[in-house]
Amino acid sequence: MSRTTDVQLLLDAYASGIFPMAAGRDDDELHWVDPRMRGIFPLDNFHISRSLARAILRENYEIRTDSAFSEVVRLCAARSETWINAPLTALYDALHDIGHAHAIEVWQNGALTGGVFGITLGSAFFGESMFSTRTDASKIALAYLVDRLTEAGFTLFDTQFLTPHLASLGAVEIPRHDYRTRLAEALRHTAEFTLPETPSAQLLLQRRTQRS
């Protein structure tokens, strides 16, 4: 298949509620996943602990959007075990090129220290992976991501699976049928990931308090 066909196949898969994963870094095959229980982040339920709020307020970081998308993907895959292989990396880059994949990045002292990336379709954001090389960097990225999704009009933040770490931040698990109902509704609307401006730390926390 051509790159264009592969990208369209991937978008069609996300729209159907399934997503690809590889068994490992060196596995050239992609496997389609359709979990019985699906992890999501209710956008009004993201939990910012006191320690995370303090880390956000330090503002010893810079938030960037899509300035180093490929590097974020690479760093997300730079662990002993990963489901991101070379074909997936190429597809993510292709989706980014056409505006369907984005990253929120945390930069400190000129270095990329944390980030999260995902796929956008309609008003749905499909979170793929995140990384952190400094304490709280990935949590800070998630906080700014949730704010951006809310301000841009997204209605669904899919985390694919629920982990204890995501649950501590407010993510929940819902049955496949409920997920597909929410996905279908999200695909009826549009949202623009790049439209909102990055808020100050104070404004981000103020917005979160108002939505809690």
Q: pTM above the 0.75 mark? A: yes
Q: How many residues does the chain have?
A: 212
Q: What angle do CA 21, 25, 27 make, to 5 degrees?
A: 70
User: In degrees rounded to 5, what are phi and psi of residue 96?
Assistant: -65, -40
Residues 108, 122: Cα–Cα separation, whole Å: 32
Helices (H), strands (E): how many in the chain? 8, 9
Domains of the chain with bracketed CATH: 36-80+99-211 (3.40.630.70)
pLDDT of the chain, 212 residues: tens digit per residue: 344 558 999 999 999 999 999 999 988 889 999 999 999 999 999 999 999 999 999 999 999 999 999 999 999 999 988 999 999 999 999 999 999 999 999 999 999 999 999 999 999 999 999 999 999 999 999 999 999 999 999 999 999 999 999 999 999 999 999 999 999 999 999 999 999 999 999 999 999 888 76
